[in-house]
Amino acid sequence: MGVLVGKKAPLFEADAVINGGEFVEKFSLEQFIGKKHVVFFFYPLDFTFVCPTEILAFQKKLAEFEKRDVAIVGCSIDSKFSHWAWLNTELKDGGIKGVKFPLVSDLDKTISENFDVLAGEYDYDEEDDLSTFEGAAVAYRGLFLIDKQGVVRHQVVNDLPLGRSVEEALRMVDALQYFEEHGEVCPADWHPGEDAMEATAEGVASYLASH
């Protein structure tokens, strides 16, 4: 599994569904550079079981992310038509109707590959011709916090059965933005309103002495 922290997020242009039902071609994260932080997350498949709990949890906290100037963007290997159908299916019928943030279609799996979250790999024969795909051809539950310069500052990747914490994603946004504004680093389990510390030996010692 690749580590993208500290590197530019891979670029892409892809079909997406926005605002709960509008098709967009050539959707790209580049539109947010210089303007917003981005939480870009992958999930395995539409019309499944753990995935809607995560997506609906992000929607529930969407206003909290937006007031921090953070864009939420989801992505799976499903087609834009599958995204549209799921977004227009009632919750009681297994849908995610009411979700407003963009869902990107990674139908050819190149975005998942470039972010290194594809749950498997392609196998090639001796002539370097594509032979088979080994594994589940879906994305792991990867999440990437991307700053306004397009650099990945945080990533976490869960196996398929393990749902993520949206609260933790929000906490990481707060920690990054606090560091960007104040220059102080955030210790373990830090939350807004708590003490941070200077990134020096003296700063660490002072923080530990007071806690």
Active site residues: 51
Concatenate the DSSP letters of all residues of the chain into one string. Answer: ----TTSBPPP--EEEEETTTEEEEEE-GGGGTTT-EEEEEE-S-SS-SHHHHHHHHHHHTHHHHHTTTEEEEEEESS-HHHHHHHHTS-GGGT--TT--S-EEE-TTSHHHHHTT-EEEEEEE-TTS-EEEEEEEEEE-EEEEEE-TTSBEEEEEEE-TT----HHHHHHHHHHHHHHHHH--B--TT--TTS--B-SSHHHHHHHHHH-
